[in-house]
Amino acid sequence: MQLDIGQMMERYAMEKWLDTGAALFAIVAAVFWFLSAYGKLPPIVAYWDSTPEHDPFYMAVKFSAKMNRWAAGLSGLSALCVGIKLFAR
């Protein structure tokens, strides 16, 4: 099946947007993973019953988990862009 110039230009534009999206999502994911791993953890303090919400170690782990969740989601979007480009050919 032959494609005319207009269809080829549309396909090229779509592939360029998907490549750009994949790259941007991957870069932002790397930033979120860097944020989740950066810095020192505060010392662990033993509590009698449960860890309070304001405990520095608990807050640091919670922040790291949140950044990891965002990074994983953005990596998934990057992979989705690449997959769409692959199957759109």
What pLDDT, on the 0 to 100 scale, is given for residue 71? Answer: 97
Alpha-carbon gap, residue 20 to 58, rounded angstroms? 37
Across the range 49-53, mean pLDDT stands at 88
- Please give the C-alpha separations between residue 28 and each of 25, 61, 83, in angstroms, as whole numbers: 5, 20, 19
pLDDT-derived band at 1, boundaries 50, 70, 90: low
Kindly report the pTM of this predicted structure.
0.81
pLDDT-derived band at 63, boundaries 50, 70, 90: very high
What pLDDT, on the 0 to 100 scale, is given for residue 40? Answer: 85
